[in-house]
Amino acid sequence: MHKRVPVSIESAHCSTCMMGHVCLPVGMPSQEVEQLDALVKERVRLEKGDVLFRHGETLNALFGLRLGSVKTQLEEQSGQVQITGFYLPGEIIGLDGMAEGQHSSTAIAMEDSEVCVVRMQDVDEISRYVPSLQHQIRRIMSKEIARSHQVLLALGSMRSEQRLAAFLLNLSQRLAALGYSSTDFIMRMSREEIGNYLGLTLETVSRLFSRFAREGLIRVSQREVRILDMIALHELVGKPG
């Protein structure tokens, strides 16, 4: 069961949160950001493997990832699973359910995590006097759609090595936006999960990591990755398939 944590006066709010520069408030006027403090009344703490929401459940809230990492996936009745996304701190989870009013995927914590709960009814209410809030949500939705299109492009037209290179570059860019190193990071997802997401087998992903390391593009130690040649990764992605 989720551990729900009420947001007290002493808690970090949207206007003071360390993720404020990449979450909902980014780009909003300071006076409006302060009004967003009323938007988050509780947080949910998840242990590794906990389900935040399931496919088909009614969309009552969006979730801002404050700590940890979360994956979303589709589950067939046969038991087959397709991972649809990996989320890092500062990113919003649940946007893909806004069109139909119900979650279109299942979200699972990849490690101990914490999310801010943004109730949809509160979004509608606060938008009346924070006009840029709806704009921010549309902006974030547009970024999410663009990311989905990039994945479809990779799956449809890229060779296996290009898919992995694009994945590493995307992860690097997102971590840099969070203020972390763009070249040294720990991947919270397993190689099997990466393969599932990219439409590759575990063996192919492992072989490509070894090849990239051998060619001097990256250095790998279990889940620790150091990008040694960013330019070469970009060039690899840009080569015709």
Domain boundaries, the chain: 3-135, 158-238
Q: Please name the fold of domain 3-135.
A: Jelly Rolls (2.60.120)
Q: Which segment of 26-35, 118-127, 136-145, 231-240 scores lowest on mean pLDDT?
A: 26-35
40-46 sheet: strands from edge to edge:
3-6, 40-46, 113-119, 61-67, 92-93
Query: What's the pLDDT at 235?
Result: 94
CATH of domain 158-238: 1.10.10.10
Q: Which segment of 55-59, 78-82, 125-129, 214-218 scores lowest on mean pLDDT?
A: 125-129
- Dist CA 57 CA 73 (whole Å): 14
The type of residue at 187 is M
Span 92-111, average pLDDT? 89
Query: What's the pLDDT at 19?
Result: 59
On the CB side of 204, CA atoms within 13 Å amount to 15
Span 214-221, average pLDDT? 96
Is residue 58 packed enough to be buried (19+ CB in 10 Å), middle (13-18) or exposed (0-12)?
exposed
Predicted TM-score (pTM) of this structure: 0.83
pLDDT of 56 > 90? The answer is yes
Two domains, one topology: 3-135 and 158-238: no
